[in-house]
Structure 1
Amino acid sequence: MGDGDTGAGPRAEVEAWLAEHWDPDLSVERWWRLVAAAGWTAPHFSVEQGGRGLPQRAGRTVRAAFAAFGALEPPGGLGLLMAAPTILALGTPEQIARHVPPILEGRLGWCQLFSEPGAGSDLAGLTTRAQRDGDNWVINGQKVWSSQAREADYGMLLARTDFDVPKHAGISWFALNLDQPGVTIRPLREMTGDAVFNEVFFDNAVVPAADLVGGEGNGWMAANTTLHFERTGIGAGGAHAGFPPPGPKGGVLGMRAGDAARLRAPEGMVVTFADLVALAHEHGRADDPTIRDALARLHCYVQVGQWNAARAKAEAAAGNAGAGTAIASMGKIAQTRITKLAAEIGMDILGAGGLLAGPDGAADGKFAKAFVFSPASSIYGGTDEIQRNIAAERTLGLPREPNPDRDRPYREVLRGQRRA
Structure 2
Amino acid sequence: MSTATTNAAEALRERVAGFLARHDPATTARLDFLRARFDAGLAWVFYPEGYGGLGLSQSLQPEVDRLFEDAGAPDNRPWTNGIGLGMAAPTILTFGTTEQKDRFLRPLWTGEEIWCQLFSEPGAGSDLANVATRAVRDGDEWVVNGQKVWTSVAHNAQFAILLARTDPDRPKHAGLTYFLCDMRDPGVEVRPLRQITGEAEFNEVFLTDVRIPDTQRLGAEGGGWRVANATLNNERVAIGGKGAARESGMIGVVARTWREHPERRTAELHDRLLRHWVDAEVARLTGRRLSQKLAQGQPGPEGAAMKLVFARLSQQLSGLELELLGEDGLRYSDWTMVRPEKVDFTGRDAGYRYLRAKGNSIEGGTSEILRNIVAERVLGLPAEPRTDKNPPWKELAR
When the two structures are superposed, what TM-score results if normalisation uses the length of structure 1?
0.77
Deviation of 1:310 (Å): 3.1
- The answer to whether 1:89 aligns with 2:71 is no
After TM superposition, the structure 1 = structure 2 runs for residues 86-235 of structure 1, keeping only pairs within 5 Å, are 86-235=91-240
Aligned AA for 1:388?
R
Secondary structure, in 3 states, of the residue corresponding to 2:301? helix
Secondary structure, in 3 states, of the residue corresponding to 1:150? coil
Deviations 1:291-347 (A, max 9, x none): 455434323322222323433554x45xxxxxx532121122122234224423433
Deviation of 1:278 (Å): 4.3
Aligned AA for 2:130?
G
Number of corresponding residues: 367
- Aligned twin of 2:293: 311
Shift in CA distance, 297/168, structure 1 to aligned 2, threshold 3 Å: closer
- Aligned twin of 1:73: 75
- Aligned twin of 1:394: 377
Q: Distance in 2 between matches of 1:8 and 1:300?
A: 28
Q: Distance in 2 between matches of 1:368 and 1:215?
A: 46
Q: Distance in 2 between matches of 1:117 and 1:214?
A: 25
Secondary structure, in 3 states, of the residue corresponding to 1:337? helix
Asked if the contact 2:38–2:51 (Cα under 8 Å) also holds between the matched residues in 1, the reply is: no
Q: Distance in 2 between matches of 1:378 and 1:139?
A: 30
Asked if the contact 2:16–2:42 (Cα under 8 Å) also holds between the matched residues in 1, the reply is: no
Q: Choose the corresponding residue for 2:52, options 50, 53, 69.
A: 50
Higher RCO, 1 vs 2 (CA within 8 Å, ≥6 residues apart): 1
Shift in CA distance, 285/19, structure 1 to aligned 2, threshold 3 Å: farther
Shift in CA distance, 18/57, structure 1 to aligned 2, threshold 3 Å: same
Deviations 1:88-136 (A, max 9, x none): 1011111111111211222111000000000000000010000011111
Secondary structure, in 3 states, of the residue corresponding to 2:146? strand
Q: Distance in 1 between matches of 2:166 and 2:64?
A: 41
Deviation of 1:152 (Å): 0.5
Asked if the contact 1:294–1:345 (Cα under 8 Å) also holds between the matched residues in 2, the reply is: no
Asked if the contact 1:271–1:370 (Cα under 8 Å) also holds between the matched residues in 2, the reply is: no
Deviation of 1:211 (Å): 0.2
Q: Distance in 2 between matches of 1:168 and 1:313?
A: 30
Cα RMSD, aligned residues only:
3.4
- Aligned twin of 1:328: 303
Asked if the contact 2:140–2:213 (Cα under 8 Å) also holds between the matched residues in 1, the reply is: yes
Q: Distance in 2 between matches of 1:58 and 1:229?
A: 19
Asked if the contact 1:140–1:205 (Cα under 8 Å) also holds between the matched residues in 2, the reply is: yes
- The answer to whether 1:355 aligns with 2:330 is yes
Aligned AA for 1:353?
D
After TM superposition, the structure 1 = structure 2 runs for residues 244-283 of structure 1, keeping only pairs within 5 Å, are 271-283=249-261
Q: Distance in 2 between matches of 1:346 and 1:62?
A: 35
Deviations 1:342-366 (A, max 9, x none): 4234334433312322179x98843
Asked if the contact 2:158–2:182 (Cα under 8 Å) also holds between the matched residues in 1, the reply is: yes
Secondary structure, in 3 states, of the residue corresponding to 1:152? coil
When the two structures are superposed, what TM-score results if normalisation uses the length of structure 2?
0.81
Q: Distance in 2 between matches of 1:297 and 1:14?
A: 39
